[in-house]
Structures are given as C-alpha cells and as structure tokens.
C-alpha cells in the first residue's frame, strides 16, 4: 500500500485527477514486484508472485462460481414467478455453500470398466482451461495476471481446451449416454468456436490490436459496440449466441439434455468431480461474459457521452472494477434470460443455425467492418 501512496504523491501524478490515480492498480502491482525483488532473488520473486496470483485466481474462481449458482437459481425463480432459495441464510444466500459442503462429502463412486486415469483427469482439464482463460482478462487498469500482445488469440485457444475434458469424460465413463453427450458437445463447441472467433476478429480489426488492455484503452472515447456501427452490434449479438452455445448453456444444452441423456457427459461423476464440471460451466459463462464486456462494452472504461463534461466526470468517479463487474453481470443476465425463455433446440437445428446462418453472416460482417476501417468511417 505504501508504494501506491507514494505513486499518488509523486509530482508526475499531480496533473491527473486523484480518483484516476487511485483507481490505477499499476503502481500497486509494480510496487509489490519491486518490494519482492528487493527482498529476494529473481527466481524466488517469480515463484512467490506466481503463488500469489494463483491463490487469488483460485479464490476468485470459487467465490464467483458459488455466487453465479445462486444467481442462476434466483433468476430462474424470477422468470418462473417463484421465490428460489430462501431458507439457508438471508434470502437463501448460503444455499450454494451448503450444496458445496454436501458435494465435498459425497462418496466418489468407482465406475466398472471405466478408463480410470482419463476418467479422473477430465474434470481437471475443464477447470484448468477456465483458469488459463481467466488469467488474461483485465479487471481494471493494471489489474490482470498476464497481458500479452496476442490476448484475444490466447483466450480463444485456451478456452477451446475445455472440450478435450468433455470428450475424455464422455468416452472414459463407459456409458452410452455420456458418450453421446460428449459427441454432441464436441460437435457443438467446435462449430460455434468459429463464430466466436470471427466475432472477436471483427472487433480486432476495429481496434487494430489483439492485446486486451489496448482494446480497452482504445474504447476510452467510446465503447466499440457504439463506435463500430452496425457491424459491431451484429458481432456482439453473434458472440452472445455463439458463446452461449459454446458453454453448453440453454437453449443449446444438448450435451446435458436431462430428458434424453440423464446428465450427459458427466452422468457417471459424483462428489467433488461432479462439482468441478458444475463449477466450470458457470465460470465459463463468466469468462465469455467478461470477454464480451472487455471487447464490446469497454471493459473497465466508464460510460462517456460526447462533450458532457459534468456527466463524464461523475462517471469517472465510479471505480473501474465496478464498471467491469456491472457489464459482465449484464451479459450474464442476458445469457440466463436466454436459457429460461427459449425451448431446447434439436441437434440438427443447433448445427443448422451455426453453419447456414451465423457463420455466413459473420464472414460478411468481417468484410464490412474491414471496409469501414479501411475507409475511416468509424468514429
């Protein structure tokens, strides 16, 4: 904290409003790095920093996952005119914690003739893929674990690794329902990854960079969903639909169709291993919502309107972390709204939507955005 205070009191910061300096985490993280380098060697500094970041991401992963399970139940209840969890704790806020404790003590049932190594490995692959994707997301200025110049490509690549865990889980379970669910999930995720990638490429063309922090900075004068005209809005809608399908959320949850496949690819899992799959689904939803908020809605950038100086200054007072969380929560609510509004599609309808409609629209949209950027018609 002393490093952050020193940065605020430095002469280079006097010309910048105090709230902008206070909300910039770069000085804090650099101060911690400098302090560790002064206290120990470079090798141990790297190890300690990796441990700190790993523990923070682990805690954030667990807390957000539990909260999203509670939010899902409340949103579902609201859509169906029910109360939702309301017994364990005030407004039922401790219900998901009680469920987690129960899952931790549930017996891990061995499956006869299952491939034990792959069966046990699959849930960890799904969780690790989520961890790796979460590490690249900028939560505020200077507050991200890794900021590489190919951030968008990295997020697309590591988030695609989750399907490997799903396929392994379905195949190694020695269960026909699990295998069918895994095959459906594989076809679904591989198909909709194309539309997710092309929607992000549309904004990469507009921003001129794949580095997530630079994409956020480029939206200082306006969020891309507004500055990119109609192609940016179309890309946002396609990203919402495709990312909902890629995370196996309803109405695209064909891999876990209860009426057809019991629980799909994780039918044979119990206890903490089932909890890993359950938690990963909600964290994947959080990750894709975070990417949408970062790329399309300005990330942690406040909402500004032209030359409205007074209004813009008021917006600047709101902490950037709250802007990021608010935008992410909005996208998550939209995805939950989809699930509890539309009926589940058939597998042929699901793939038809992607290959016959979303993918061609996306390809044309990329060309239109390229032409707009080339002509300098964006603002």
- Distance CA(358)–CA(368), nearest Å, equals 15
- Distance CA(260)–CA(69), nearest Å, equals 23
What the block records as the tokens of 178 is: 């699990």
- Distance CA(170)–CA(161), nearest Å, equals 15
What the block records as the tokens of 277 is: 């799959």
pLDDT confidence of 6, banded at 50, 70, 90?
very low
- Read off the pLDDT of each residue in 266-285 and give the average, rounded to a whole number: 85
Cα angle at 354 between 350 and 357, to 5 degrees? 115
Cβ atoms 113, 121 nearer than 8 A: no
Average pLDDT over the chain reads: 83
What the block records as the tokens of 118 is: 């792959």
Cβ atoms 304, 346 nearer than 8 A: no
Q: Where are the domains of the chain?
A: 114-375
CA distances to 179, 212, 291, 366 from 299, rounded to whole Å, are 38, 9, 8, 22
Contacts 24+ apart (CB under 8 A), 366-370: 366/198, 366/201, 366/202, 366/205, 368/230, 368/231, 369/202, 369/205, 369/206, 369/228, 369/231, 369/232, 369/235, 370/205
Predicted confidence at residue 174, as pLDDT, reads 84
Is the pLDDT at 249 greater than 70? The verdict is yes
Specify the pTM: 0.85
With tokens 């975070």, the residue in question is: 290
Highest mean pLDDT among 7-21, 242-256, 300-314, 327-341: 327-341
Kindly report, residue by residue over 101-140, the tens digit of the pLDDT.
888 888 788 888 888 899 889 989 988 888 888 888 888 8
Kindly report, residue by residue over 139-192, the tens digit of the pLDDT.
888 788 888 888 899 998 888 888 888 889 888 888 888 888 888 888 888 888
Kindly report, residue by residue over 215-229, the tens digit of the pLDDT.
988 888 788 888 888
Predicted confidence at residue 173, as pLDDT, reads 86
Secondary structure of 229-297 in HEC code, one letter for each residue: HHHHHHHHHHHHHHHHHHCCCCCCCHHHCHHHHCCHHHCCCCHHHHHHHHHHHHHHHHHHHHHHHHHCC
What the block records as the tokens of 168 is: 């392994």
Cα dihedral across residues 75, 291, 205, 152: positive or negative: negative
Of how many residues is the chain composed?
Answer: 379
- Distance CA(374)–CA(8), nearest Å, equals 41
What single DSSP character describes residue 91?
G
């Amino acid at each position: 904290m002393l490093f952050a205070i020193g940065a605020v009191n430095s002469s280079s910061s006097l010309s910048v409003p105090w709230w902008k300096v206070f909300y910039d985490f770069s000085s804090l993280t650099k101060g911690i790095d400098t302090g560790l380098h002064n206290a120990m060697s470079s090798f141990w500094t790297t190890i300690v920093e990796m441990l700190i970041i790993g523990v923070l991401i682990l805690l954030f992963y667990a807390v957000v996952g539990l909260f999203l399970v509670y939010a899902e139940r409340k949103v579902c209840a609201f859509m169906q005119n029910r109360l939702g969890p309301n017994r364990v704790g005030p407004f039922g806020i401790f219900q998901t914690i009680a469920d987690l404790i129960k899952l931790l003590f549930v017996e891990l049932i061995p499956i006869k003739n299952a491939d034990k190594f792959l069966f046990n490995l699959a849930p960890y692959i799904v969780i690790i893929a989520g961890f790796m994707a979460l590490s690249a997301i900028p939560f505020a200025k200077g507050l991200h674990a890794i900021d590489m110049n190919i951030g968008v490509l990295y997020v697309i690549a590591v988030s695609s690794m989750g399907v490997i865990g799903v396929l392994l889980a379905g195949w190694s379970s020695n269960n026909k329902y699990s295998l069918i669910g895994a095959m459906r999930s594989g076809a679904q995720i591989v198909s909709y990854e194309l539309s997710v990638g092309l929607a992000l490429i549309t904004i990469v063309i507009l921003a001129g960079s794949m580095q997530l922090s630079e994409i956020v900075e480029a939206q200082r004068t306006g969020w891309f969903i507004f500055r990119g005209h109609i192609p940016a809005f179309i890309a946002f809608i396609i990203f919402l639909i495709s990312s909902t399908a890629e995370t196996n959320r309803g109405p695209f949850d064909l891999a876990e169709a209860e009426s057809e496949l019991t629980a799909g690819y994780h039918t044979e899992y119990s206890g903490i291993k089932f909890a890993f799959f359950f938690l990963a689904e909600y964290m994947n939803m959080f990750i894709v919502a975070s990417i949408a908020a970062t790329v399309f809605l300005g990330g942690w950038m406040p909402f500004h309107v032209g030359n409205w100086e007074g209004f813009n200054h008021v917006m600047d007072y709101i902490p950037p972390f709250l802007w990021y969380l608010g935008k992410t929560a909005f996208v998550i609510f939209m995805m939950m709204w989809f699930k509890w509004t539309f009926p589940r599609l058939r597998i042929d309808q699901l793939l038809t939507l992607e290959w016959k409609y979303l993918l061609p629209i996306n390809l044309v949209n990329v060309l239109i955005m390229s032409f707009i950027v080339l002509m300098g018609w964006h603002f």
